[in-house]
Amino acid sequence: MSARWSIGAAIFVLLAAGGARAQQGGSPPTAAELRAELDALERRLREVERREAAGGDDPLAPPPPLPADDGDEAAPADPEKKEPERIVLQLPRSMKLEVRGHLRLRGETRHPADYRIPGTFGRPATDGRGSGDDFILQRAWIGLDFTVTEHLRAVFAIQDARLWGDHPVGQDAAETFIREAFIEGRRLFDQPLTVRAGRNLVPHLGDGRLMHSLDPWAGVPRIWDAVQVTYDPQGWWFSAFASNLREAGIQTPRGSDNDDFWLVGVYASCRLIEKHELDGYLFYRNLSDRVFASEARPGRPSRLGEREDFTTGMRLKGELGPVGYSGEAVYQWGDQAGDDVRAWAAASKAWYTYDLGEGRKVRLGGEYAFASGDRDPTDGKNQTFDPIFPFGHFYHGHMDLFSWRNMHAVSAQLAVFPLAWLSLHADGHVFWLDSRRDAWYSAAKAPLRRDPSGRAGSHVGTELDLYVQMRLWEERFFLWAGYSHFWTGEYVRATGFSKDMDWAFLHLELNF
């Protein structure tokens, strides 16, 4: 039975039930009640038809435990959480071809440009205290999703991402690359089993604190070449993957000996309790570029080597009425250039949603996040936690000044949804270093400053993010605009120039 016949039958039953209620002496439904029921059925119809046209939801993505418009973590900052209807061409033998795409422009301005000291961590040896940074990013991609049979699918997408004015006029080099190119087998052996092989976006696992593609925020999302196997019986979700990334700059600079980066992992999620998730995972990395340095210590100079580590953790997330909560704890061990890796991290969050009716609501949340830092860089132990593919932009401030490593962070969030297509947000963050002898790391996991003496204070600063989001024309057009301010703390003032930072952006996006 088609989606429209199913909804039509539901409407008939709704009207018949109202008539029966009137005949039995009860008051018939009001026009407002009937309109509300019909609106709900229409929304359901659009969602069912979207899934039918797209061939169903992505089986490699864990199903959301909460309503699609009521997420608390990455969803509020993720304009693609609801996808617009796409162009679908029906072909013979039940084959179909789907066309999807995206065009985006974002302008940003930041002053000062960053907090690196001149001559350190790749910054030119000039005094850039008063310098700012203004630019416009542009990206566009288009993809083809070809369904051969109900069990076989192929996807290819190409993307262009560039910075306006980054080449002289008439000499602009093409910055175009393959975004997706994979083959997927679905419901193999008539079981909830999916196998995908090829190039695609890094999956969003859990809340994205450890694994996230940074799409759609980043101009160039995180992409990997991988084989991923997923088994999702009712109430459970299991996934295993193996990936190899040879491109320089994915996790490390290119080394002279071997530039392979291997990442293998398993992820399991239990969904047996309604609106709850209990996850466990184990990841293995082998970063074989010989660019990782061990710290010099008595009797042994610093040396370069590889990094090989394991990361394991558990995560709990749920919702009880208007109250939601989540928590995650991670442990990491291995070897880096001869240093023993022992690090850990944890995060917890709670939120309360007040429903105002008719799609309007207010949400208030709070979070604490911790990631260990290296207490003594010369003792042969590396205690700095290293998240794999983190979504720091959402969790640790829109200004991208912090990563989930060597930090304590406390934050509060206020979100107001006055209309179905409009949301207003205010996020506040306060940051401290876990170890004052370790570095302050940006969202790119790169060190911004380091005080080997450890005498500078641990308070790095406070950030305020104010932003608005609008989704129009059936989610096809998305507008995101915001302003952020960072007040420097005692650590910044003790280690160099300490001017407060301002940042603003305007993000325009069209999806089809």
pTM of the model: 0.80
Residue pLDDT, tens place only, 382-437:
999 999 999 989 999 999 999 999 999 999 999 999 998 999 999 999 999 999 99
> Residue 192's pLDDT is what?
95
373 and 402 Cβ atoms separated by less than 8 Å: no
> Residue 163's pLDDT is what?
87
> Residue 338's pLDDT is what?
86
| DSSP code per residue over 146-200 | EEEETTEEEEEEEEEEEETTSS-TT-PPP-EEEEEEEEEE-SGGGSSEEEEEEEE
d(CA 147, CA 133): 45
> Residue 58's pLDDT is what?
44
d(CA 63, CA 51): 14
Residue pLDDT, tens place only, 225-235:
999 999 999 99
Taking Cα atoms as reference points, which of 170, 174, 171, 196 lies closest to residue 185?
Answer: 196
Q: For residue 413, give every residue at least 6 positions away whose Cβ sits within 8 Å of its Cβ, in sequence order, or none.
A: 351, 363, 364, 365, 366, 367, 425, 426, 427, 428
CA–CA–CA angle 388, 133, 458 (5° rounding) = 55
> Residue 73's pLDDT is what?
34
188 and 194 Cβ atoms separated by less than 8 Å: yes
Taking Cα atoms as reference points, which of 201, 203, 209 lies closest to residue 314?
Answer: 209
Q: Which amino acid is at 71?
A: G
Q: Which two tokens stand for residue 385?
A: 């936690």
> Residue 299's pLDDT is what?
66
- Determine what percent of the chain is predicted with pLDDT higher than 90: 58
- Work out the burial of residue 185: count CB atoms within 10 Å of its CB; fewer than 13 is exposed, 13-18 middle, 19 or more buried: middle
Architecture in CATH for domain 55-511? Beta Barrel (2.40)
Domain spans of the chain? 3-47, 55-511
- Cis omega before residue 112 (within 30°)? yes
pLDDT tens series, the chain, 512 aa: 444 444 444 444 444 445 544 444 555 566 666 566 666 655 555 544 444 433 334 444 443 332 223 333 333 333 334 555 678 888 887 899 999 999 999 999 999 988 987 766 666 655 555 567 899 999 999 999 999 999 999 999 999 998 887 765 555 555 889 999 999 999 999 999 999 999 999 999 999 999 999 888 888 888 889 999 999 999 999 999 999 865 444 454 444 455 567 899 999 999 999 999 999 999 999 887 666 766 766 666 677 788 899 999 999 999 999 999 999 999 999 998 889 999 999 999 999 999 998 889 999 999 999 999 999 888 889 999 999 999 989 999 999 999 999 999 999 999 999 998 999 999 999 999 999 999 999 998 989 999 988 999 999 999 999 999 999 988 899 999 999 999 999 999 999 989 999 999 999 999 98
- Work out the burial of residue 492: count CB atoms within 10 Å of its CB; fewer than 13 is exposed, 13-18 middle, 19 or more buried: buried
Helices 3-23 + 31-54 axis angle, to 10: 160
d(CA 202, CA 197): 13
With the CA atoms of 50, 54, 55 and 59 taken in that order, what torsion angle do they form, in degrees rounded to the nearest 10? -100
Residue pLDDT, tens place only, 149-164:
999 999 999 999 988 8
Which residue carries 């994915």 as its tokens?
Answer: 250
> Residue 7's pLDDT is what?
44
> Residue 52's pLDDT is what?
40
Taking Cα atoms as reference points, which of 358, 316, 79 lies closest to residue 218?
Answer: 79
> Residue 317's pLDDT is what?
97
Taking Cα atoms as reference points, which of 499, 500, 428, 507 lies closest to residue 466?
Answer: 428
> Residue 92's pLDDT is what?
83
> Residue 216's pLDDT is what?
82
Q: Which two tokens stand for residue 190?
A: 């008539």
> Residue 85's pLDDT is what?
65
d(CA 431, CA 443): 13
